[in-house]
Structure 1
Amino acid sequence: MRRKILLLDTGREWGGGTNSMLELLKRIDRQKFAVTCCFYNNYSRGNSETIESILNSIGIPVIFIPQRRQPMWAKLSKELLRTLFFFNRSLKKEMIARVDEIWRVLPNAKAISSIMRAGQYNALYMNNQPSTNVEGYCAVNNLDVALIQHCRIEPQLNAALVKRVNERVDAVIAVSHGVNQSLRQSGVDAQRCFTVSNAIDIHQTLPDRAEVRERLGYAPETFIFGSIGSLITRKANHHIFQALGQFKRAHPEAKWKMVVVGSGPEQEKLAQLAGTEMIESHIVFTGFQNNPLDYLAAFDVFILASRSEGLPRVVLEAMLVKTAVIGSNVVGTAELINHNETGLIFEYGDIDRLSGYLMTLWQDATLRQRLIEAAELRVREQYAIENYVSGVEMILEKCIERRTHV
């Protein structure tokens, strides 16, 4: 008998976690699992695709829970609480969370619970992290179903949330060993934590670097630095621009471009920073693109300067297409990049070190070749998508089976 799973995604944008989820759903054993997705938002991306259209194309039904705007009373209450508890950040955060729970979390939990009951689901599988899936924990309080949490980024947990996780969750799937360690250090029971590393399709057809560069109009003699991702503060593209400013001042003769693939609220600030650093003529903002592998293949160096990550798929993709990688020393990224072996690592925010690595890889083709060969081999040996799918399937199956016999 197939097990019925409701997959809950409460996110607001189409990110790496969404792509990982889709790769799982394309390959999950339909003889064992009947998955229905439950989203708050019908994400869209640059080519007018929506998450609903993609799920429909692979035969996965989807339910949307419409989200209402924050009521005025909640907005005013939170402003008052910020004023009253300005002296205690943690208490202020806790009180604001209570307001959010009343107007947003509990109504969503009620809707999710109704869907679970009506559909007679065996499990609720949440695709974000505990702090953004509180409604899921509330929804199953009185339901005898398995609860599985996928944690795709280094989590932010307080004591109350850890208590809630330990009381109810059957398994937390961490996308990296670093995320797993963060969960346990925060107090989540170790026996509930499992690592299933993010992965990619190593058998897919890969773009040809020379053909892509010609199609995108990148001259052979131009060195291409690049980044891919949402233009948000956490991704720290401003650190990359500052490092590139240093690079230009040190090597004004260099012919290079920095190609920024993605969209987001930080784009205007980044454009202003490019002017301040006098590198605006070198910067190319492409907006969102639905063919990231093409751009990764066209880059000479891919840079990920984030403040936090889980296990970034984009680094795996860069390694697969044989592009050298520089990354910040944060959970997930550091797990993929062995310094001076499969890439180069700098401490988050260390602009001088990042700039030095840009210069090093620009100058040293032999080093770039050594790094990309070792990185590609590691991805192919350790991060095949089949391992990811089978790992998640095993956890889902065991959790549902255990809950059935409770």
Structure 2
Amino acid sequence: MSKKILFISNEASRTGAPIVLLNFLKWLKENTDLDFLILSLNDGPLIKDFQKLAPTYTLKLKRPDNPTFSKYIAYKLKLRFIAPIKRYFLLKKINSNDIGLVYANTIANGTAYHKYLSNIKAPLITHIHELDRVIKNYGEFNWENVEKYSDHFIAASGAVKQNLVDSYEIAEDKVDVVHSFVPVGNIARVNEERRREMFQLLNIKEGTFVVGGVGALGFRKGVDLFVQTLIKLSSLELHREVCFVWVGANLDSPSYKTFISDLKKLKLEHKIRFIERVPNPADYFSTFDVFLMTSREDPFPLVCLENASLKTPVICFENAGGISEFVEQDAGFVVPYLDISAMTSKLELLMKDEALRKKLGEAAAQKVKVRHDVPIASAEIKDIIMRFIDSQ
């Protein structure tokens, strides 16, 4: 193929969708001779990783972290006067390439299609990782342009596809489902010595039953439901100690302060740990006996796959996104939406039945390996791309 593929990422943060794209592009570089370039609408820590794979461009300047007043003023001046000129020449350079296909990662690129890329005459595939709440957050104008310019869609789960079909009247044959994926071989397996060190670091006694959760302290991730489950479980007569651990918290947020205040009044603050975003999350995941996904809406979160690959069963809500498509009947439990009592009951069962917990965890790890490893899903995406390239 002489023409190039333009891959668009809305950002280069260490979050789910950019990580999925990065893992796919690494596989594509190693396993095909397809030529491509990358456009990230925003800067971020993954930019250097993208640059190792192909020519990479960013449209927006990165705001400095904790800037002094003079650095903030300099940033604003660059944003006002230099960035538009840089953007003009950058887009001119991109448009000068012979683009044979545009592949846009996430729902967040609709405005960019309209504003910057509408003169590229090539098929456009949009890979959607979002459900309805997030799609609406980006606004009607953004979605209108996603729908207008996209020739085809890839959905990160069956739930994502169903939302496109039901809520946005996208034809079923215009959407392929490719479930999100992780590099199974690269997920760190923590040895027993390191696991003991993590228990000490978290000030949790060995033998405690640890329930894990991951994400920002927001409404969508359901951290309030995570806390309510702890309260419910603590009201029961349990045969062992229990501790809930949430990784990825912003300890400066009002939500965190509210949860801690409530738990102190209930004398339960010693049974929970809120951990900020860390560079070694697998170390913390290694302490989990169960991964409790309390999200109200989540397309197909990578953290579930990462925990499952560590032989940790998953408990989630039905009708809350795509992860129930992974859990099914053998990798954990799917309970009725927002049913805290049902979640608590399943946790109590797994606390009492270690053999069942291990069986579900083994099945979860095997399922990630055979269904959701990078080479398997990447080959599916490549086949979709080739359909459009070969049809030209």
When the two structures are superposed, what TM-score results if normalisation uses the length of structure 1?
A: 0.78
Tell me the amino acid that sits aligned with residue 327 of structure 2. I
Partner of 2:60: 66
Moved more, 224-233 or 118-127: 118-127
Return the alpha-carbon distance in structure 1 between the equivalents of residues 353 and 86 of structure 2: 54
Q: Give the deviation of 1:161 after TM superposition.
A: 6.9
CA separation of 1:51/1:267 partners in 2, compared to 1, >3 Å: closer, same or farther? Answer: farther
Matched, 1:358 2:347: yes
Q: Name the amino acid aligned to 2:342.
A: R
Change (3 A) 1:354 1:278: farther
Q: Which residue of 107, 111, 116 maps to 1:135?
A: 111
Q: Work out the CA distance in 1 between the residues paired with 2:335 and 2:61.
A: 40
Amino acid at match of 1:308: E
Aligned to 1:7: 7
- Cα shift at 1:342: 1.4
Residue 152 (structure 1) aligned to one of 121, 126, 129 = 129
Pairs within 5 Å for 1:53-92: 53-56=48-51, 58-66=52-60
Separation in structure 2 between the aligned mates of residue 52 and residue 269 of structure 1, nearest angstrom? 36
Q: In the superposition, relative to structure 1, how do residues 284 and 68 fare at CA in structure 2: closer, same or farther (>3 Å)?
A: closer
Q: 1:173 pairs with 143, 154, 157, which one?
A: 154
Q: 2:103 aligns with which of 116, 122, 125?
A: 125
TM-score, with normalisation over the residues of structure 2? Answer: 0.81
Deviation at 1:181, TM superposition (A): 1.9
- Any stretches of 5+ residues in structure 2 without a counterpart? 64-83
| Distance (Å, rounded) in 2 between the aligned partners of 1:246 and 1:289 | 28
Determine if the alignment matches structure 1 residue 237 to structure 2 residue 223.
yes
- 2:325 maps to 335
Q: How many Å separate the matches in 2 of 1:39 and 1:337?
A: 33
Shift of 1:244: 0.3
- How far apart are the structure 2 equivalents of 1:163 and 1:260? 37
Partner SS state of residue 184, structure 2: coil
**Distance of aligned partners of 1:270 and 1:17 in 2 relative to their CA distance in 1, 3 Å threshold:** farther
Greater alpha carbon shift after TM alignment, 210-219 vs 59-68: 59-68
Listed as ranges, the gaps of 5+ residues in structure 1 are: 44-49, 70-105
Q: Residue 215 in 1 paired to residue 205 in 2?
A: no
Across the aligned residues of Structure 1 and Structure 2, the Cα RMSD in angstroms comes to 3.0
Counterpart among 360, 370, 375 of residue 371 in structure 1: 360
Return the alpha-carbon distance in structure 2 between the equivalents of residues 392 and 122 of structure 1: 16
Q: Where does residue 200 of structure 1 map in the other structure?
A: 182
Q: Does 1:278 align with 2:278?
A: no
CA contact (8 A) 1:199 1:388 kept: yes
State the Cα deviation string for residues 280-339 of structure 1 (Å, max 9, x = none): 112222211222223222211111111111122221222211112111212211111114
Are 2:12 and 2:40, in contact at CA under 8 Å, matched by a contact in 1?
A: no
Query: How many equivalent pairs are there?
Result: 357
Q: Residues 188 and 376 (structure 1 numbering): CA distance in 2 closer, same or farther, change over 3 Å?
A: same
* Partner Cα distance (1:309, 1:394) in 2: 26
Deviations 1:31-90 (A, max 9, x none): 5333333223333xxxxxx2223334x333332212699xxxxxxxxxxxxxxxxxxxxx
Q: Decide whether aligned partners of structure 1 residues 276 and 144 sit closer, same or farther in structure 2, where only a CA change above 3 A counts.
A: farther
CA contact (8 A) 2:99 2:120 kept: no
The 1:166–1:65 alpha-carbon spacing in structure 2 relative to 1, beyond 3 Å, is closer
CA distance in 2 between partners of 1:140 and 1:221 (Å): 56
Task: Check 1:12–1:60 CA distance in 2 against 1; reply closer, same or farther (3 A cut).
Answer: closer
Residues 37 and 60, structure 1, Cα contact 8 Å, conserved in 2: yes
1:261 to 240, 244, 247: 247
CA shift in 2, pair 1:64/1:14, >3 Å: same
Change (3 A) 1:159 1:153: closer
Q: Does 1:52 align with 2:78?
A: no
Letter in 2 for 1:179: V
Where do residues 301-320 of structure 1 align in structure 2 (5 Å cutoff)? 301-320=290-309
* 1:385-404 Cα distance to aligned partner (Å, 9 max, x none): 211111112222322343xx
**AA of the residue aligned to 1:241:** V
| Greater Cα shift, 310-319 or 253-262 | 253-262
- In the alignment, which residue of structure 2 is the partner of 1:29? 29
> 1:174: how far off?
0.7
